[in-house]
């Protein structure tokens, strides 16, 4: 059973919770679409904290949510079971700008855990703007059961401390804020260039006719992997492939623009609401 925004609103009205925890855009965006025409029918004023994890909560989503819930704060967090820690940023209606990938600061102390972003080859902390991997110190997990190879790769000692290497890519700005770029293993290698799907998705989501988007790498003889976008249009809207490609080329480096755009009615998800990218790769391979 999927997320039902009407049911969500009805539960909030009845139970008066102070906090809602959801999986980023896959749940917030349907709620926003529902509130666009039903906001006055529901009293959601009890909600003070809107916590988002498990999937990006884009800038446009943050802005739209706080339009309907101006007295709430958005906690946009990233974390993991292995690290037993969350790092994130807080957004309110008074903010002048909203960011998709800003997920806290380096060396954040929480229950004696700390967070770093390092170059996975040199194992040194990244410089501002340099891409690196998020690692966590003093994790609760010690190993992966029955998988010594993965354990050795993911749990390592550096500078006398034990760290868990998350596999999450990020940059750090001049103020020390972490900006998530996506799974390092999930990057698309197209013509020798690395493309992080989340960056392309952020641009396509801002296109007026797009309701949902997922970007994946499809095997390609020429490019190795072709950046491919799968989009769901807003109700009553139509989307042309060339429109999206042209829009991306204006807002991104040319190699990051999708080679193909497929329009569909729904994005496949598992029961918890996470997108099944593997299914999309199989569906559109060779098309």
Q: What is the pLDDT of residue 99?
A: 74
Q: Domain boundary at 182, 211, 230, which? A: 182
Predicted model pTM = 0.60
Q: What is the pLDDT of residue 70?
A: 93
Q: Is 26 a domain residue?
A: yes
Q: Is 49 a domain residue?
A: yes
Distance of CA 219 to the CA centre of its chain: 23
What phi and psi, each to the nearest 5 degrees, are found at residue 62?
Answer: -55, -45
Q: What is the pLDDT of residue 111?
A: 45
* 178 and 191 share one domain: no
Q: Is 56 a domain residue?
A: yes
**Other CB atoms within 10 Å distance of the CB of residue 208:** 8
Residues 238-263: tens digit of each pLDDT: 999 999 999 999 999 999 999 999 99
Say how many domains are in the chain: 3
DSSP state, residue 259: S
49, pLDDT greater than 60:
yes
Please tell me the least confidently modeled range out of 7-16, 79-88, 126-135, 157-166.
Answer: 79-88
- What are the CA-CA distances from residue 56 to residues 28, 131, 205, 222, 251 (Å)? 10, 18, 12, 31, 19
107, pLDDT greater than 70:
no
Q: What is the pLDDT of residue 138?
A: 64
| Dihedral sign from CA coordinates of 31, 34, 37, 43 | negative
Q: What is the pLDDT of residue 2?
A: 67
109, pLDDT greater than 60:
no
Q: What is the pLDDT of residue 112?
A: 43
Say if residues 73 and 66 touch (Cβ distance below 8 Å): no
* 206 and 142 share one domain: no
Residues 171-188: tens digit of each pLDDT: 888 888 888 777 776 788
Say if residues 58 and 74 touch (Cβ distance below 8 Å): no
d(CA 92, CA 90): 7
Q: What is the pLDDT of residue 69?
A: 92
Q: Is 34 a domain residue?
A: yes
Q: Domain boundary at 182, 200, 224, which? A: 182
Q: Domain boundary at 182, 202, 233, which? A: 182
Q: Is 58 a domain residue?
A: yes
Please tell me the least confidently modeled range out of 9-18, 48-57, 226-235.
Answer: 48-57
| Dihedral sign from CA coordinates of 102, 121, 149, 143 | negative
* 262 and 275 share one domain: yes
Distance of CA 131 to the CA centre of its chain: 17
Which has more pLDDT, 225 or 8? 8
- The range of the structural domain enclosing residue 137 comes to 115-182
């Amino acid at each position: 059973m999927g997320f039902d925004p009407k049911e969500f609103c009805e539960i909030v009205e009845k139970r008066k919770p102070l906090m809602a925890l959801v999986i980023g855009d896959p749940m917030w965006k349907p709620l926003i679409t529902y509130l666009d025409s039903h906001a006055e029918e529901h009293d959601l004023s009890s909600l003070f904290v809107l916590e988002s994890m498990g999937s990006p909560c884009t800038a446009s989503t943050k802005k739209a949510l706080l339009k309907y819930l101006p007295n709430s704060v958005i906690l946009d967090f990233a974390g993991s079971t292995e690290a037993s820690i969350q790092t994130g940023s807080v957004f309110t209606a008074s903010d002048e700008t909203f960011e998709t990938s800003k997920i806290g600061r380096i060396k954040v102390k929480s229950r004696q855990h700390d967070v770093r972003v390092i170059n996975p080859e040199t194992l040194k902390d990244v410089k501002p703007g340099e891409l690196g991997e998020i690692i966590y110190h003093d994790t609760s997990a010690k190993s992966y059961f029955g998988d010594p190879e993965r354990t050795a790769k993911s749990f390592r000692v550096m500078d006398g401390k034990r760290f868990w290497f998350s596999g999450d890519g990020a940059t750090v700005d001049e103020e020390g804020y972490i900006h998530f770029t996506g799974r390092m293993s999930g990057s698309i290698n197209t013509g020798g260039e690395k493309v992080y799907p989340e960056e392309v998705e952020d641009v396509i989501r801002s296109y007026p006719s797009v309701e949902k988007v997922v970007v994946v790498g499809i095997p390609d003889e020429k490019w190795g992997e072709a950046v491919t976008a799968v989009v769901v249009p807003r109700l009553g809207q139509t989307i042309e492939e060339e429109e999206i490609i042209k829009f991306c080329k204006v807002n991104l480096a040319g190699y990051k623009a999708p080679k193909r755009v497929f329009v569909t009615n729904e994005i496949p998800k598992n029961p918890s609401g996470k997108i099944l990218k593997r299914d999309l790769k199989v569906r559109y391979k060779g098309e």
